[in-house]
Structure 1
């Protein structure tokens, strides 16, 4: 997998949104995120582990990326990912033990976009 392909996956991984971060929200915990590419020259799908704590999203994997994101009390999510010259953003919503949204990014292979689905573990 190339770095641009991985980046698209990270964005994905849990795209989270505007608003103040929640304190001890029901969304806190580990999430498994499936990122699906629908447009562009990136791998078809990725699965990543993401952690949500106190309204903040963090990548729970081994790659070293600049990852920032938030989850509002309402479940609205927004994330930004950077890996060198590559970057991606995503947004969506968590509700109960599930979530979904969209992402888009730019990497070595051009632009890619798609959707993501999340499950709380």
Structure 2
């Protein structure tokens, strides 16, 4: 009985460690990136954002829109597929795309007090 409990505890601990670890392949996108979001619909303009990817998680390191700092977060999978959310004051945007070894790109859409915007984004490794 004690042996079974110890085996179950060890199995649960190993599962928790394996499931919480980021995929090893996502690490190839780790580092600093320079992103540009360009508006193709609406009036949001041209927005520069600094990114850091760590263990498949995407974080903003710099950038502002309408005098508000941009708080961007998201995930990139081991195959390079990415999903991101960005907030700048009362404005919010969502993006999807794909990262490669040295460059990335995709689309985004957002909304704020003055209406809707959408466009494309691209990024290059710093």
TM-score for the superposition, normalised by structure 2 = 0.71
Deviations 1:40-67 (A, max 9, x none): 0212x12221000001000001655543
Quote how far apart the aligned CAs of 1:109 are.
1.9
Runs of 5+ consecutive residues of structure 2 not aligned to the other structure:
1-20
Pairing of 1:1-121 with structure 2 (within 5 A) = 21-23=22-24, 25-43=27-45, 45-61=46-62, 64-121=69-126
Is the alpha carbon distance of 1:98 and 1:41 closer, same or farther for their aligned partners in structure 2, counting shifts above 3 Å?
same
Alignment root-mean-square deviation, CA: 2.0
Residues 85 and 62 (structure 1 numbering): CA distance in 2 closer, same or farther, change over 3 Å?
closer
- Aligned residue pairs total 101
Gapped regions of structure 1 (runs ≥ 5): 1-19
Higher percent of residues as helix: 2
Q: CA deviation at 1:108?
A: 2.1
- Distance across 1 between alignment mates of 2:71 and 2:49: 15
Higher relative contact order by CA 8 Å / sep ≥ 6: 1 or 2? 1
Task: Report the Cα distance in structure 2 between the residues aligned to 1:75 and 1:51, rounded to whole angstroms.
Answer: 15
Q: Which piece of structure 1 moves more, 105-114 or 59-68?
A: 59-68
